[in-house]
Amino acid sequence: MIDIKFLRENPDAVKENIKKKYEDHKLPLVDQVIELDLKNRAIKQEKQALEAETNKVSKQIGALMQSGKKDEAMAVKNEIAKNKGRINELAEEERNVEAEIQKIMMVIPQMIDPSVPIGKDDSENVEIQKYGDPVVPDYPIPYHTDIMESFNGIDLEAAGRVAGSGFYYLMGDIARLHSAVITYARDFMIDRGFTYVVPPFMIRSNVVTGVMSFDEMDAMMYKIEGEDLYLIGTSEHSMIGRFIDQIIPEGQLPLTLTSYSPCFRKEKGSHGIEERGVYRIHQFEKQEMIVVCKPEESPMWFDKLWQNTVDLFRSMDIPVRTLECCSGDLADLKVKSLDVEAWSPRQKKYFEVGSCSNLGDAQARRLGIRVKSEDGKTKYLAHTLNNTVVAPPRMLIAFLENHLQEDGSVTIPEVLRPYMGGISVLTPKNRK
C-alpha cells in the first residue's frame, strides 16, 4: 500500500505505475481517492473548528451564571449541544470516508522499482543468468511420481481417499530425502547468519490483509470455520505478522530470519499437465527467509536473498537460472521480484522452485511496522523482503530428475549425505 501523501502529490506517477502493471481498470481509483481525501480533510477541518469553538464558549457558561445571565448561559449550552451533535455526525462521516479510502488504497498497487522490466505477464519475464550446465541424459527420465513409486516412496491414491486430490503420502527413502533437504536448508541458512524460527501456522485476518493482496488471499488462503484464523500459505505471513504494530529500534536492524512451516494453499484455477503429481498441491513444507531492514538496505538484501537460493541448489548439483519478473507479473504489494528456476531434464526446460520479493514498505504500512531512529527523534516504516530457501515437493522433482541414473538409482550429493545417514546412492525397490 502506497503513502496517501505520495498519491496526493503524485497522482500522475501513480497512474503511470498502474499502466505499467497493465491494470488500467484501477486508474479511476486514483481520482476517487483524491476526491475522498479532499472530502475527509474538509470534514476534519469543520470538526476541529467546531471543537475549538465549543471549548471556547463552554468557558463562558460559568461566568454568565455567576453574573445572573441564566438565559444567555442556557443559549450557550444549547449551542454547545448543537455543536456536539454535529461533531458526532462529522466523526461518523470521517470514519466512513477513511474506511472507504483505506479500502481503495489496499488495491492500488505499490510503486514498482525503476529497474523492473515492463511486460504483461510471466511470458515476458527476463532471464538474468544461468548457473550450472543443464544436461539431458541419453536415457529417458520418467515422470517424477514414477521415479518416487520406483522407491515405494509415494501414495497418491491413498491420500486421495483420505483428503482428496492435491495431497500425498511420502514414504521410505523419498520421505527421508524430503526431510533431509529441509534440514539441510535450515542449517545452510543458519550458517549464513539467519536466526531459525518455527512460527504459528495460523494467523488472524488483520495479519492476512497486512501481508498480501485481496486477490492473493482469495486464491490461496484456507479459513478456519467459526474463527478469525487462516492457515498460512507460507511462513512469511506469520513471520512478518510477528512485528504488527511494533516499533523496532534501529540498532536491531536488519532482522534476518529463516523459518520452517507447513504451507496450505487452495491453488484455485486450472493448471497444465506439468502441474499434476506433486508440482502444485494443497499442502507442503517449506524453508523460508525473511528480512526486515532499513529502506536504503533493501536492494542489497534482495540480491543476497536470491543468491542464497541459487547457492543452495548449486551445492546439490542442480542447474538453475534466475528470472526478473516483469511489471505485469508482480503482485500488487511487490516492488521487485525474481524467480529461481531449476532445470528439468525430463521437460528440457526450467521450472520455478522459489520466488524472491522486495515489498518495500507495503507490508510495514499495512501492519504498522515502524523503526525508531537511534537518536529516538524519528520513526519510519521498515522494508520487508522474503524468499524461498527450498520447498521440497518441487525441490524433489528437480533433485530426482537431475540425480537419476540410467539404472534407476539416485545419487545423493555430498552435502546431503550427513542428513541421509551417510547414504550416497538410493536404490529402487520396485523396478518396472
**What is the arithmetic mean of pLDDT over 67-79?**
74
Q: Which residues, including other chains, have CB under 8 Å from residue 143's CB and lie 6 or more apart?
A: 277, 346
Q: Is residue 198 part of a domain?
A: yes
**72 and 166 co-located in one domain:** no
Q: Is the pLDDT of residue 88 over 80?
A: yes
Q: Is the pLDDT of residue 310 over 70?
A: yes
pLDDT value, residue 431: 61
Q: Which of 51, 74, 105 is the last residue of a domain?
A: 105
Contact 188, 312 (CB under 8 A): yes
DSSP for 1-36, written as a single string: ---HHHHHH-HHHHHHHHHHTT-GGGHHHHHHHHHH
**100 and 147 co-located in one domain:** no
**144 and 254 co-located in one domain:** yes
Cell of 143: 515422470
Partner residues linked to 291 by β-bridges: 256, 385
**58 and 134 co-located in one domain:** no
Read off the pLDDT band of 269 (50, 70, 90). low
Helix axis angle, 298-315 to 172-191, nearest 10° = 140
**397 and 324 co-located in one domain:** yes
pLDDT digits (tens, 9 = 90+) for 98-124: 999 999 999 999 999 999 999 999 999
Mean of per-residue pLDDT scores for the chain: 92
CATH number at residue 46: 1.10.287.40
Domain that residue 30 falls in: 4-105
Q: Is residue 203 part of a domain?
A: yes
**101 and 145 co-located in one domain:** no
pLDDT digits (tens, 9 = 90+) for 392-414: 889 999 999 999 999 999 999 99
Number of domains in the chain: 2
Q: Is residue 117 part of a domain?
A: no
CATH number at residue 344: 3.30.930.10
CA-to-CA distance for 388 and 412, rounded, in angstroms? 22
**28 and 57 co-located in one domain:** yes
Query: CA–CA distance from 390 to each of 260, 275, 289 (Å)?
Result: 10, 18, 10
| pTM for the predicted model, two decimal places | 0.90
Cis peptide before 134 (omega within 30 of 0): no
**372 and 420 co-located in one domain:** yes
| Torsion over CA: 421, 425, 431, 432 (sign) | positive
Tell me which residue of 202, 248, 208, 222 sits closest to 333, measured CA to CA. Answer: 208
Q: Is the pLDDT of residue 139 over 80?
A: yes
**220 and 331 co-located in one domain:** yes
Q: Is residue 431 part of a domain?
A: no
- Please tell me the least confidently modeled range out of 74-78, 154-158, 242-246, 415-419: 74-78
Q: Is residue 356 part of a domain?
A: yes
**93 and 180 co-located in one domain:** no
**191 and 80 co-located in one domain:** no
Residue 368 zone, left/alpha/beta (φ > 0; ψ -120 to 50; rest) = left
pLDDT value, residue 64: 63
| Torsion over CA: 122, 127, 129, 135 (sign) | positive
Query: CA–CA distance from 31 to each of 1, 97, 224 (Å)?
Result: 16, 14, 37
**What is the arithmetic mean of pLDDT over 316-327?**
98
